[in-house]
Structure 1
Amino acid sequence: MKLWIGLAALVLAEIGYPLTEGRARAALVVVTVCLGFLLSIAHAAATRGPRAAGLLALVTAGGGFAVEAAGRATGYPFGDYDYTGALGPRLLGVPLVIPLAWTWMAWPAWVAAARLTSRPVARIAVAAVGLAAWDLFLDPQMVSQGYWLWRTTTPALPGVDGIPLTNYLGWLAVALALMALLRLALGDDPARPGADAPMYAMYLWTYTSSILAHGIFLGLPASAAWGAAGMGLVAIPLAVRLWRR
């Protein structure tokens, strides 16, 4: 029940995003990411134990920070970018909230992949696509608000200016590495359909709400379409599987 209450709080925070602007919107982004991080960690602890939750944080938040710091300093693997000061305190130029976002969506992607396949390599691949495709929504939304910016912006996806293709390819490469490390850390970690329901709901909510927000409220129709297609590679089969069950 507590996990569902946490998910409800996350949903309310995300609903508030289009209703705010300026500093209030940036603060709400930080709150939303923290809620998502805590919800994923709490679910991992409740269903897999405290050790699994700690390993999840180490792999995804720790790994996410390392990659972000390296990416900002060197331009690899995402491209040449930098953060503004809008998202709060930074370490090595990376807002402290950013690594938490990797954990937030990595865990539901990992859990959703287990519902779709039991083969280890396939699960790593599906989970990586599920995580990386989220950035088809995330980057256009955050760049449009000036939370970070790209110095080199081409080539880009049609209709989504300001973000190079290298960013999405970098996300996929990093997501593959993180999911492979999660597999090593957590082992087989089979699906738990009943216990994992809050994570299925969070993943599907993120997918559908992002399409709606980008397409209607944020004026980002191209990223709505690209995100719908990319994240839909995991979200739609997951929804179908759950519906059939």
Structure 2
Amino acid sequence: MPARWLPWGLLAALVLTQICYPLTEGDARARLTVVTVLLGVAFSLVHALLARGPRAAVALVLSAMAGGFVVEAIGVATGFPFGSYEYSGRLGPRLLGVPLIIPLAWTWMAWPAWLAALRLARRRASRVAIAAAGLAAWDLFLDPQMVAEDYWRWRDPSPALPGVPGVPLGNYLGWLGFAVLLMAALAAAAGRATAGPLSSDAPALALWLWTYASSVLAHAVFLSLPASAAWGAVIMGAAVLPLLLRPRLPA
């Protein structure tokens, strides 16, 4: 397979794995969750390397993967910035109370969020804001789903969004705050902060759009989480759907 097609191959494997998710349960679903994240982070790192070069890939690892682990370790130990929570142990090995798969999830979704923002704004501050808002809005799907699967839980999950018990409002604010720091670091370190040719960025943009659409569908139809489907559809949609209107915005 030519290198330029590798991201598409990883994306296809990721999509197939996610389609299988509602068809499994219990430990099989937990293992599939881990495989999904591994495919996702492989996709983002490979795409960053091929489309933007080694500097971008290293910047993604340092800002999202290392940064994600640090903030999660602080969160588990202190309750800041996400609230007091704990992991159940169903997601594999842990370090400092954090499953090693968790910072990989930050890395997986930070990259397409950043590339989408490059096409929607010209100023760095605006790009950081859009990317951070999109990444934080993804949590409107992620946390309700993971809490329902008992992968983690909050000790005091109130106040919460209407219809989405189990996830405190403060968690979403914590996600947004860290997402801003993550994207600011990525913007400063990644280099070539321009919207590349649509053909080179297409796999990552396709992942971004797929994540949004499939999350709405899965929560509304397959996972019996209609409230998170509605919240995510509106709020993440505000960050994602403009991409359909301006995919070729010049840098």
Q: TM-score, structure 2 length as denominator?
A: 0.95
CA separation in 1, counterparts of 2:23 and 2:223?
A: 10
Tell me if structure 1 keeps the 8 A contact 2:119–2:248: no
Q: 133, 136, 157: which one pairs with 1:132?
A: 136
- In the superposition, relative to structure 1, how do residues 224 and 243 fare at CA in structure 2: closer, same or farther (>3 Å)? farther
Q: 95, 99, 102: which one pairs with 1:98?
A: 102
Per-residue deviation at 1:235?
A: 1.1
2:181 — aligned with what? 177
CA separation in 2, counterparts of 1:243 and 1:232?
A: 19
Paired residue type of 1:197? A
CA separation in 2, counterparts of 1:61 and 1:134?
A: 17
Q: 177, 200, 217: which one pairs with 1:195?
A: 200
2:235 — aligned with what? 230
- The answer to whether residue 218 in structure 2 is matched with residue 220 in structure 1 is no
Per-residue deviation at 1:2?
A: 1.4
Q: Which moved more, 1:191-200 or 1:94-103?
A: 191-200
Tell me if structure 2 keeps the 8 A contact 1:120–1:188: no
- The answer to whether residue 242 in structure 2 is matched with residue 242 in structure 1 is no
Helix, strand or coil at the partner of 2:242: helix
CA separation in 1, counterparts of 2:157 and 2:63?
A: 29
Q: 98, 105, 113: which one pairs with 1:109?
A: 113
CA separation in 1, counterparts of 2:184 and 2:249?
A: 29
Helix, strand or coil at the partner of 1:195: helix
Per-residue deviation at 1:187?
A: 3.7
1:127-180 CA distance string (max 9 Å, x none): 000100000000000000000001011110000001100000000000000001
Tell me if structure 1 keeps the 8 A contact 2:113–2:135: yes
CA separation in 2, counterparts of 1:13 and 1:36?
A: 10
Q: Which moved more, 1:178-187 or 1:118-127?
A: 178-187
Q: Which moved more, 1:49-58 or 1:135-144?
A: 49-58
Q: Which moved more, 1:93-102 or 1:191-200?
A: 191-200
Per-residue deviation at 1:244?
A: 10
Paired residue type of 1:49? G
Per-residue deviation at 1:188?
A: 4.9
Helix, strand or coil at the partner of 2:184: helix
Q: 123, 126, 138: which one pairs with 1:122?
A: 126
1:14-61 CA distance string (max 9 Å, x none): 001000000000000000001000100000000111222012111100
1:53 — aligned with what? 57
Q: TM-score, structure 1 length as denominator?
A: 0.98
User: 5+ unaligned residues in a row in structure 2: which ranges?
Assistant: none
User: 5+ unaligned residues in a row in structure 1: which ranges?
Assistant: none
Across the two proteins, how many residue pairs are aligned to each other?
245
Helix, strand or coil at the partner of 2:153: strand
